Amino acid sequence: MSLLKISDLRTYFKMEGNVVKAVDGVDFELEKGEIVGIVGESGSGKSVTCLSIMKLIPEPPGFYPTGSIEFMGKDLMKLNTKQMSKIRGNQISMIFQDPMSSLNPFLTVETQLTEVLEIHQNKTRKEAQKIAIDILERVGIANAPRRIKQFPHEFSGGMRQRVMIAMALLCRPELLIADEPTTALDVTIQAQILELMKDLNRDFGTSIIFITHNMGVVAGMTDRIVVMYAGKMVEKASTSDLFETPKHPYTNALLSSIPRLDIDDQGSLTPIPGLPPDLSDLPSGCSFHPRCKFADDQCKAAYPDRIELSKDRMAACWKVNV
């Protein structure tokens, strides 16, 4: 049985009479110890997918017309707020994009770390403090017994993200959701944080869902990748398959927009023309057709079926066999 099985997840928002389909049909599975990447441009529904797994979407305006999220045999969609709080931060943790604003500026790091253990494991403040210091050291914060007494503003960006990771790992969760954890950091710090996450995945066996718009980052991190566009899953494949033989034109376009060091005369990068569509006013047929160089009348008329190419390999495109 897989650790997490998401089936037909849809997250819509009611906005001034309009229904915005932020996530519109996402299915994927995650095995224990696996790292799955979700990639796509801004507004493709990556973050909303993950916030939906945590049930952190404010309802209203958000609602889930369909979908089930099976986690360790339980359907999270059927849990109430109280049952869900027992899972959040305990069995499923999340780290966010912006470590500057994701820690509470008014509370010490110690308070923010120990409260997790106090609520989920009934630890006393003292026990919790010891565990927190250990884990801070584990994520590479020197001088942890002194640093833990400090406030977030006394940490640098990279250090704050380490604190966030430490906070997420306190209860040794089965699943860690990382929503663009390195986007706000500079490149050298990015590499350190990615390395740290890989180590933790290996040492603790924590499964990770890794959200990013950076194809370079997912290549080195993940086992499998889900590509999202305008709220829909357009391609799903193992990382090596996806990079070697991308099937969806959108995946292809994403890959050609990465700068590469291993090709001498690359010429200019190929950007994807146009902008991601407005979710409240999607184009007809395949949402990607206005930006796709292979698009024809069929693409404008109807949304393509998902084509199962092999086990765990899927693409939703009329031109997939071309």
Partner 1 sequence: MLFFIAKRLVGVVITLFVIITLSFLIIRITPGSPFSQERDVPVEVLEALKAKYGFDKPLHKQYFQYIGNVVKGDLGLSIKYSNRTVNEIIKISLPKTMQIGFLALIWAILVGFVGGAIAAVKQNTKWDYGLMSIAMCGISIPPLVSGPLLILVFALALPWFPTSGWGSWKHVVLPSISLGSVYAAYIARLTRGGMLEVIRSNYIRTARAKGLSEKAVVVKHALKGGILPVVTFLGPAVASIMVGSVVVEKIFNTPGMGPYFVDAAFNRDYFLLMGVVIVYAVFLLLLNLLVDIAYGFIDPRIRFE
Where on the chain is the footprint of partner 1 (CB under 8 A)?
A: 54, 56, 81-82, 85-90, 93-94, 96, 98, 101-108, 115-116, 119-120, 151, 153, 164, 167
Q: Other C-beta atoms within 10 Å of 138: how many? A: 18
We find the least distance from the C-beta atom of residue 266 to partner 1, in angstroms, to be 37
- Of 21 and 120, the one with the shorter C-beta distance to partner 1 is 120
Q: How far is the CB of 27 from partner 1 (least distance, A)?
A: 23
Least CB distance to partner 1 at residue 288 (A): 30
Helix (H, G, I), strand (E, B) or coil at 316: strand
Q: Given the complex with partner 1, which of 164 and 211 has the nearer CB atom? A: 164
Q: Mapping DSSP to helix (H, G, I), strand (E, B) and coil, where does residue 158 land?
A: helix
Decide: 153 and 184 in contact? Cβ < 8 Å.
Answer: no
Closest approach of partner 1 to the CB of residue 106, in Å: 4
Q: Please state, in angstroms and rounded to a whole number, the distance separating the CA atoms of residues 39 and 46.
A: 7
Q: Which residues contact 77 (CB under 8 A, 6 or more apart)?
A: 64, 67, 68, 69
112 versus 239: smaller Cβ distance to partner 1: 112
Residue 78 or 82 having the CB closest to partner 1: 82
CA angle, residues 86, 144, 194, in degrees to nearest 5? 70
Find the shortest distance in angstroms from Cβ 307 to partner 1: 36
Give Cα 43 distance to the centre of its chain.
13
Q: Which two tokens stand for residue 232?
A: 């829909």
DSSP symbol at 215 = H
- Whole-angstrom Cα distance, residue 298 to residue 27? 25
Question: For residues 184 and 233, which CB has a smaller minimum distance to partner 1 in the complex?
Answer: 184
Cβ nearer to partner 1, comparing 113 with 272: 113
Q: Give the residue from 171, 45, 184 showing the smallest Cα distance to 101.
A: 184
Q: Minimum distance from CB of 84 to partner 1 (Å)?
A: 8
Residue number, 88 or 291, with CB nearest to partner 1: 88
Please state the separation of Cα 214 from the chain's center in Å. 12
Instruction: Let me know how long the chain is.
Output: 322
Output the smallest distance, CB 68 to partner 1, in A: 21
Non-local (6+) Cβ contacts of 293 within 8 A are: 249
Pick 88 or 248: Cβ nearer partner 1: 88
Closest separation between CB of residue 63 and partner 1, Å?
A: 16
In the three-class reduction of DSSP (H, G, I as helix; E, B as strand; rest coil), residue 71 is classed as strand
Cα dist. 216→103, 221, 222, 231, 314 in Å? 27, 9, 11, 22, 21
